[in-house]
Structure 1
Amino acid sequence: MLSPIPDLRAVPGNAYVVSLVLREAKQMHMLEIRIGAKNRGIRPIVQSVCANIYCVDPREEVIQAWYMDDSDADQRLPHHRDPQEFVSFEKLDASKIVSLSFSELGVLSWRLDADNYETDPKLKKIREDRGYSYMDFCEVCPEKLPNYEEKIKNFYEEHLHTDEEIRYCVAGSGYFDVRDRDEAWIRIWVKKGAMIVLPAGIYHRFTLDSDNYIKAMRLFVGDPVWTPFNRPHDHLPARKEYVDNFVNKAGGGPAVDAAAA
């Protein structure tokens, strides 16, 4: 007996996936094109088409992003809106559910080989291309981080930096929250293998998720400067430049999506 086929509408990116599956199935000259069909030959084809259409970006397994609700519940919870609103890596057109992308905010992202970061040629190239000469590691958990309670509170205070914030998750997971152009919070969930770059001047914050552990590689151009500037610091040149490049540009800023880098 076949197990039920998942409701594709629940997949981030959503309703358009179903129509694409049906269209692709039709091109395969199938006589009956119905997701709930009992024909044993349909299920594997539908699954295959879904994989080819949706699961094409390797980052999706280690990075997800969505709009947050306004709840004051535990910051380590996902805080999805109801219904859920996901944010994609690429800009989606108006026929799709979410129209905002990482690149419109200036956030760059990669999926890397966290088990072999010491010899990973892709990481080496990123560091060379972007000038990330400094590297260290930070473990955030009650057992490993001195003054844990104070620091985790500081991490979750909304702030900006005058330089990029580069984090590569080599173990565990956590949330980076960033503001969109309309001041809404977007939660970016990073897991092992995820690397993200938050641009200088973007208001953001960080928290662990319910697993209470992350080990992150920190990268920097030259000598590191970790100084946070808690909101408001709109007068800083880094903030003004971010606003000019991303907030005030209807089409987004000049950021390059890192997937193909």
Structure 2
Amino acid sequence: MVAFFYHDGKDTPENFTDEHNSGEPVSPEKLGELGILYKYIDTVEDLEAIAKERDYKNRDQVVLNIETFGGDQDAYQAKMRQFYTEHYHEDEEIRYIKDGEGYFDVRDKGDRWIRACVQKNDLLILPAGIYHRFTLLSRLQNVTALRLFKDEPKWEAINRSENRNTPARVEYSNSISVN
């Protein structure tokens, strides 16, 4: 089951896949204040019920590990750096973990990173416009995730460094009273 905690802020380009647990836990209720939804789902029927309830019409599956890149360590590391670059999307990001583990980091209202360690049967829904990043765990560099979508997938990652405020970002910021 998922663990939520504040990131210790001590990551480097060499160790960002480490746990970085500050020892300060974060409750699911605190994540709810940020518009983040977490559920543990261990049956296909329950997953289908949520997909229907939330109007998710499309889905695909992604497998992320070194084999996905044909053993090409450079390509794998480049993709990991891309996923770990702080960004947001104009659509919800919905991930159901079928196997393996990973870390999703999200910003709280005070701009601190909260880390969620997701593993098999965890469903995490991030609202459109929330800054986040993702990485695999250093001890298990493998995840299989089902990605769910309301419409056709849109994959534009809007990096924080671009300083772009699309309607999704503005709406999200207003919903939690943060600029």
TM-score, normalization: structure 1?
0.63
Indicate conservation of the 8 Å contact 1:233/1:239, yes or no.
Answer: no
Match 1:229 to one of 155, 158, 161: 158
Identify the residue that residue 7 of structure 2 maps to in structure 1: 68
Query: 1:247 & 1:179 partners in 2: Cα distance?
Result: 13
Task: Report matched runs for 1:2-81 at 5 Å.
Answer: 62-73=1-12, 74-81=15-22
1:233 Cα deviation after fit: 3.7
1:67 Cα deviation after fit: 0.6
Identify the residue that residue 204 of structure 1 maps to in structure 2: 132
Report the aligned-residue RMSD.
1.5
Q: If you compute each CA radius of gyration, which structure gives the higher value, 1 or 2?
A: 1
Residue 61 of structure 2 aligns with an amino acid whose one-letter code is F
Query: 1:130 & 1:233 partners in 2: Cα distance?
Result: 30
Q: Could you list the runs of 4 or more consecutive aligned residues of structure 1 that deviate by over 4 angstroms after TM superposition?
A: none
Identify the residue that residue 244 of structure 1 maps to in structure 2: 174
1:171 Cα deviation after fit: 0.1
1:76-113, CA deviations, whole angstroms, 9 ceiling, x for partnerless residues? 111022xx1000112xxxxxxxxxx1101110011111
Query: 1:87 & 1:125 partners in 2: Cα distance?
Result: 27
TM-score, normalization: structure 2?
0.90
1:120-166, CA deviations, whole angstroms, 9 ceiling, x for partnerless residues? 22111111111111111101111124632221110000000000000
Match 2:68 to one of 141, 144, 161: 144
Query: 2:157 & 2:11 partners in 1: Cα distance?
Result: 23
Query: 2:93 & 2:61 partners in 1: Cα distance?
Result: 13
1:206 Cα deviation after fit: 0.2
* 1:219 lines up with 2:148 in the alignment: yes
1:235 Cα deviation after fit: 2.0
Which ranges in structure 2 are unaligned for 5 or more consecutive residues?
Answer: none
Percent identity (aligned): 41
| Partner SS for 1:143 | helix
Report which of the two has the higher share of strand: 2
Which ranges in structure 1 are unaligned for 5 or more consecutive residues?
Answer: 1-61, 91-100, 249-261
Query: 2:28 & 2:54 partners in 1: Cα distance?
Result: 20
